[in-house]
Amino acid sequence: MSDELTELPEGWEWAQLSDVLSILSGEAFKKKDYSSSGVKLLQIANVSFGKVVWEQQNFLPKSFLADYPELVLEKNDIVMALNRPILNDLLKIARLSEEDAPAILYQRVARFNLFIDEMRDYFFCYTGSPKFLQLIRTNLQGSDQPYINTSTLPNFPISIPPLNEQKRIVTKIEELRDRHQRAKQALEAIPELCDRFRQSVLAAAFRGDLTADWREENPDVEPASVLLEKTRRDRRQKWEEVESKKLQLGGKSSKDDKWKAKYQEPEACNGALLPKLPETWTWAPVELLATKVVDGVHKKPNYIEQGIPFVTVKNLTAGSGISFENLNYISEEDHKEFFKRANPEKGDLLISKDGTLGVTRVIRADTIFSIFVSVALVKPVSYEMSDYLELAFVSPQMQNQMLGTGSGLQHIHLKDLRRYAVPVTSLEEQAEILLRVRNLFNAIDKIEQQYTGANKHITCLNQAILAKAFRGELVEQDPNDEPASVLLEHIRAEREKADNGKKTKGKRAKQLKLEV
């Protein structure tokens, strides 16, 4: 026994697992033994955190119940994965329910056979304690696929209280666990409520409800129609500037303005088919508010180890901004070619158009990169509207328009994206909307942070309770309880008696009965 074991209350004893249980691992049954139905084979994949899961199911013929009686699992049996037993600081150990049994034990899964059934609840609680988890962790072998040997487990220490106190400890743990579970379930509703609140805020913002009081206080602000008229002029002017430069670079000089007739005026939205907006608002198609709506290169480029960042949908969906981690890179030469079509710049919008639809990000920095076909580029006529458009694109009013096509991977066509209707108001009201939405979002962000903290606190509290329980600090000791030393001596005596008796090969060992 380790010299590092802490002092226990009077009546308690330190013991090894081998003093109170035996450990058995399963059989490596061959796939040719499997059947389409019969008795369930309990494998590593079926051992989850505190329960058995049957998402992956294999069967053996029912005759195996008689052929392998020592491997038959019954209700309340405790099993643990021996390969990769720890995942995300949680131990893959479970207790079979009535629905799980009978089952047959497969290799690299251990069953703990308690010598007396009265200790089963206490031992199962003990396996959830920080001490037991640490014992498993420090005794793992292997790096690629960590595992623990069944020859190591029997030497693990376990604190043993009097049997009556064990029952009081289990009752208290279950009482506190139920209370914490109810709190955790209440907390788990918060993220969804926060998301729904954000959507409600955006819906109110882009139907004009959020700033209705602001409009009453500012009746002289120009209507959106004035802003759109200016946007039309600016859009055409920018188009003419680009086309004029193309002519100059091509060595052509224009003798007249006939080339200007090639300009295509965006079609107006059909307001009759769209939700009603405040009088000073209007609907405008995306292409009217943008000088360019394109997507990235349509062929997969040749990636290189270092070079120009190449942004795909995954870089829009990882976090809140554009993620430049986990990137692929392309050559300078390829970037120059791709940039002719899609030239992302600071203030532009990137929108996911394949897979996860409608994720929208404003480019916040002067970072040089290219984009893939799964990402659309929207270059606003006025960068004053970039932040407003980013919020508008993720509002219910616009997300409801983004109906993907395709039988497998959903995608948005550029022709549809250009026609999507944007609710537009004056620049002054846009600024007020941004201010109010950000303030409300900041408030909900704080609630989410509190939720995260509370969730961690509950997890830590559960671990603290279990640590106290197995130090003898969770429930009061009763001096009238029979000490653990007597319990352990009784188990030893009964085991010796059983060992000296007649043994039947292959049979599951019978549990000892306490004489009270």
pLDDT of residue 257: 81
pLDDT of residue 17: 97
Indicate if the pLDDT at residue 4 is higher than 90.
no
pLDDT digits (tens, 9 = 90+) for 205-222: 999 999 999 999 999 999
Longest dimension (CA), the chain: 114
Looking at the domain that runs over 1-158+484-516, which CATH code has it been given?
Answer: 3.90.220.20
For helices 427-469 and 163-188, give the axis angle rounded to 10 degrees: 180
CB 342 within 8 A of CB 295: yes
Indicate if the pLDDT at residue 92 is higher than 70.
yes
Nearest to 21 by CA among 95, 112, 123, 102: 112
Indicate if the pLDDT at residue 80 is higher than 90.
yes
Number of H helices, E strands in the chain: 15, 21
pLDDT of residue 86: 96
pLDDT of residue 500: 75
Sheet holding 328-330: strands in order across?
Answer: 328-330, 308-311, 370-371
Helix (H) or strand (E) holding 136: helix 130-138
Indicate if the pLDDT at residue 1 is higher than 60.
no
Ramachandran category for residue 515: left, alpha or beta (phi over 0 → left; psi -120 to 50 → alpha): beta
Half-sphere exposure of 244 toward its Cβ, with a 13 Å CA cutoff?
10
Nearest to 369 by CA among 344, 346, 340, 348: 344
Task: Output the average pLDDT for the chain.
Answer: 92
pLDDT of residue 501: 66
pLDDT band at 505 (very low <50, low <70, confident <90, very high): very low
Backbone angles phi, psi at 479, to 5 degrees: -60, -15
Give the strand pairing for 72-73 and 103-105.
Answer: antiparallel
pLDDT band at 407 (very low <50, low <70, confident <90, very high): low
Q: Which residue has the higher pLDDT, 154 or 254?
A: 154
Question: pTM for the complete prediction?
Answer: 0.72
pLDDT of residue 405: 76
**210 CB contacts (<8 Å, ≥6 apart)?**
201, 204, 433, 436, 437
pLDDT digits (tens, 9 = 90+) for 383-403: 999 999 999 999 999 999 998
By percentage, how much of the chain surpasses pLDDT 90?
A: 80
Domain coordinates in residue numbering, the chain: 1-158+484-516, 163-221+433-476, 223-425
pLDDT of residue 317: 87
pLDDT band at 503 (very low <50, low <70, confident <90, very high): low
165-170-174-176 Cα dihedral, nearest 10 degrees: 40
pLDDT band at 333 (very low <50, low <70, confident <90, very high): very high
pLDDT of residue 260: 87
Q: Would you identify the CATH topology of the domain 223-425?
A: Adenine-n6-DNA-methyltransferase TaqI; Chain A, domain 2 (3.90.220)
Helix (H, G, I), strand (E, B) or coil at 173: helix
Nearest to 102 by CA among 52, 44, 171, 175: 52
Q: Which residue has the higher pLDDT, 269 or 139?
A: 139
By percentage, how much of the chain surpasses pLDDT 70?
A: 95
Residue 124 identity: F
Same fold, 1-158+484-516 and 223-425: yes
Indicate if the pLDDT at residue 290 is higher than 50.
yes
For helices 427-469 and 190-205, give the axis angle rounded to 10 degrees: 180
pLDDT of residue 382: 97
pLDDT band at 513 (very low <50, low <70, confident <90, very high): low
Half-sphere exposure of 373 toward its Cβ, with a 13 Å CA cutoff?
8
